[in-house]
């Protein structure tokens, strides 16, 4: 049986890959894409890490797997941080293991606690870091943690990000470089000890961290690309991309010349120009009301002062202030409110669903339509052009038994160059970030399929839901029902002719079934929330 490698690069997109390739960097990854079929991978709506990676490893949309952001629920229904054992669908490893295919999982976001696979698992983003010392309970079997700490002392799941300062220098790149080197050593040791694992799923999260901070210095279509300070930062970026390329080469050597490589990103990236303070807009439109001290924020002067204070306060203190602002919402007079930032949506304050819901089901469509009309009429005073490209209703992009937990509306603002925020303390509905080199998630990720007799092709398109079924097919597995399809048109004719795609009902465990069920401690939750806040996610 040929080996199958799923190679994930978090947030990678052609707008930064092509400049790197043209400058002579990442030659091995470029060759990988060019020797097979490649193109744009369309992400989830919204294009965010939690629904993205969970959809990749389950092959179903968030309405079936139940993950819409880094937290469950909303400000009224706070379900806490997402964990793998909250995923309500089977994953690639469940399907593969059920058919005797051992799997290796390495650093995949949203896979904590690590699932008890036949093979090995090292969890990724949202794993507690152990107070900054060593991660806790992050491997299956447990003994693998000792191996990792022995070969890669100081191994950490993620780096610390200082979102407000890292754009000024290459400091974040040095932290990423050290972390990447540790992970390279760790995976090498794991593969040496598990040579009978034919299916490997590995993710490098570093590109996402980098582009949140330095995107506009990398994309030549951005004005920042041509600034004097961009050159030295971009050169260090290119050097780091080459470090990733060497790690990628290790994994390609593991797959071998007769193996199949399916590479993907969970979303793309683009420039972050502005944020839309959704709760503030809803308030100005009479759809959200504040009570008590919150009424003071009606003054633009007070909001400007709040913005200045935010820059001076420690993040933990500002979190409490933000929580106090949201707790001042008068739910008895509020018909809609912003979703948590990573969900990039709006909830109708619906009776029978929200604890403080006031909108009767008979008025749901009318309220939704009013919000859509308001959003589409919103213009940016800087250029007089519309802010919102379109608004998806939930049923347009999410379906399944968990769909009711999703936001009701998903606005898309200036091709995702404007990010939605749940802010109330801002001087205006729009906050301007054009002066900073930051990036923001985009729908257009990347994918590639390479292997024996895979024909060369580029400029293709595929869905994020197609990754799991295609990988399982290449591993020789039958498939359960999934939302995605096997990309047979991109696979060798001989392979497809000799092995039909078999989809049949399967009794499978859920993605995190059997994983350690211990909840996050208050300290772990605080540490993870701080990390997400530093990335601008909370």
Strands of 430-432's sheet in order across: 418-421, 274-277, 430-432
Taking residues 168-195, report their average pLDDT. 97
Residue 180: pLDDT band (50, 70, 90) is very high
Residue 318 has a pLDDT of: 42
Taking residues 147-153, report their average pLDDT. 95
Q: Which residues have CB under 8 Å from 394's CB, separation 6+?
A: 403, 406, 407, 408, 409, 410
- DSSP for 27-53? HHHHHHHHTSEEEEEE--SS--HHHHH
Domain ranges of the chain: 4-271+441-534, 274-435
Of 353, 424, 439, 344, which is closest to residue 391 (Cα–Cα)? Answer: 344
Q: Which helix (H) or strand (E) holds 461?
A: strand 457-463
Taking residues 26-40, report their average pLDDT. 98
Q: Are 2 and 259 in contact (CB under 8 A)?
A: yes
Could you give the C-alpha distances from 63 to 60, 87, 88, 336, in angstroms and in order? Answer: 8, 11, 9, 21
Residue 305 has a pLDDT of: 46
Residue 443: pLDDT band (50, 70, 90) is very high
For 235-281, write each residue's pLDDT tens digit: 999 999 999 999 999 999 999 999 999 999 999 999 999 999 999 99
Max CA distance (Å), the chain: 70
Q: Which residues have CB under 8 Å from 363's CB, separation 6+?
A: none
Q: Are 449 and 37 in contact (CB under 8 A)?
A: yes
Taking residues 408-418, report their average pLDDT. 98
Residue 168 has a pLDDT of: 95
Taking residues 387-415, report their average pLDDT. 98
| Range with the poorest average pLDDT among 81-95, 314-328, 397-411 | 314-328
Any idea what DSSP says for residue 290?
B
Residue 406 has a pLDDT of: 97
Residue 470 has a pLDDT of: 98
Strands 4-9 and 444-450: unpaired
**Residues 522, 159: Cα–Cα separation, whole Å:** 20
Q: What angle do CA 109, 113, 119 make, to 5 degrees?
A: 85
Chain length of the chain: 538
Per-chain mean pLDDT for the chain: 93
Residue 294: pLDDT band (50, 70, 90) is low
**Residues 259, 449: Cα–Cα separation, whole Å:** 11
Residue 313 has a pLDDT of: 47
Residue 302 has a pLDDT of: 46
Q: Is 318 helix (H, G, I), strand (E, B) or coil?
A: helix
CATH number of 4-271+441-534: 3.40.720.10
Taking residues 151-178, report their average pLDDT. 93
Could you give the C-alpha distances from 108 to 6, 326, 405, in angstroms and in order? Answer: 11, 32, 24
Q: Are 512 and 87 in contact (CB under 8 A)?
A: yes
Q: What angle do CA 473, 476, 478 make, to 5 degrees?
A: 65
Residue 520: pLDDT band (50, 70, 90) is confident
Q: Note the Cα 386 to chain centre separation in Å.
A: 27
**Residues 219, 87: Cα–Cα separation, whole Å:** 35
Taking residues 83-112, report their average pLDDT. 97
């Amino acid at each position: 049986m040929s080996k199958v490698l799923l190679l994930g690069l978090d947030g990678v997109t052609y707008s930064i890959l092509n400049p790197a390739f043209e400058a002579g960097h990442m030659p091995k990854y470029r060759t990988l894409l060019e020797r097979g079929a490649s193109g744009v991978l369309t992400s989830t709506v919204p294009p965010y890490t939690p629904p993205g990676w969970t959809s990749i490893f389950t092959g179903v949309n968030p309405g079936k797997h139940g993950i819409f952001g880094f937290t469950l629920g909303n400000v009224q229904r706070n379900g806490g941080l997402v964990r793998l054992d909250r995923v309500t669908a089977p994953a690639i490893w469940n399907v593969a293991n059920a058919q005797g295919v051992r799997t290796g999982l390495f650093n995949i976001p949203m896979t904590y606690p690590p699932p008890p696979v036949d093979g090995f698992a090292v969890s990724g983003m949202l794993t507690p870091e152990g107070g900054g010392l060593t991660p806790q309970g992050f491997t299956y079997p447990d003994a693998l943690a000792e191996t990792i700490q022995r070969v890669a002392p100081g191994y950490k799941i993620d780096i610390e990000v200082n979102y407000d300062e890292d754009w000024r220098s290459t400091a974040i790149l040095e932290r990423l470089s050290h972390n990447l080197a540790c992970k390279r050593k760790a995976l090498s040791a794991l593969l040496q000890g598990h040579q009978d694992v034919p299916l490997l799923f590995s993710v490098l999260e570093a590109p996402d961290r980098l582009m949140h901070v330095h995107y506009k210095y990398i994309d030549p279509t951005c004005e920042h690309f041509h600034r004097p300070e961009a050159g030295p930062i971009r050169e260090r970026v290119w050097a780091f991309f080459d470090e990733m390329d060497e790690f990628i080469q290790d994994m390609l050597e593991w797959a071998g010349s007769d193996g199949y490589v399916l590479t993907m990103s969970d979303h793309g990236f683009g420039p972050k120009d502005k944020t839309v303070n959704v709760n503030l807009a809803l308030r100005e439109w009479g759809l959200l009301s504040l009570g008590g001290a919150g009424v003071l924020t009606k003054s633009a002067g007070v909001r400007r002062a709040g913005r200045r204070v935010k820059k001076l306060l420690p993040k933990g203190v500002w979190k409490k202030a933000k929580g106090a602002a949201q707790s001042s919402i008068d739910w008895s007079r509020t018909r809609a409110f912003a979703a948590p930032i990573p969900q990039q949506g709006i909830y109708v304050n619906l009776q029978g669903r929200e604890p403080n819901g006031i909108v009767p089901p008979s008025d749901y469509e009318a309220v939704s339509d009013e919000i859509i009309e308001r959003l589409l009429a919103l213009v940016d005073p800087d250029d007089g052009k519309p802010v919102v490209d379109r608004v998806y209703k939930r049923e347009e992009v999410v379906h399944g038994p968990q769909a009711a937990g999703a936001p009701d509306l998903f606005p898309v603002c200036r091709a995702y160059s404007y990010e939605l925020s749940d802010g109330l303390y801002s001087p205006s509905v729009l906050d301007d970030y054009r002066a900073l080199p930051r990036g923001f998630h985009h729908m257009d990720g990347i994918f590639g399929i390479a292997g024996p007799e895979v024909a060369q092709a580029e400029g293709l398109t595929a869905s994020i839901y197609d990754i799991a079924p295609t990988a399982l097919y290449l591993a020789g597995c039958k498939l359960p029902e999934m939302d995605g399809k096997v990309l047979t048109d991109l696979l060798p004719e001989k392979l497809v002719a000799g092995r039909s795609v078999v989809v049949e009902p399967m009794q499978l465990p859920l993605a995190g079934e059997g994983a350690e069920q211990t909840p996050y401690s208050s300290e772990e939750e605080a540490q993870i929330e701080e990390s997400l806040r530093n990335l601008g996610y909370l």
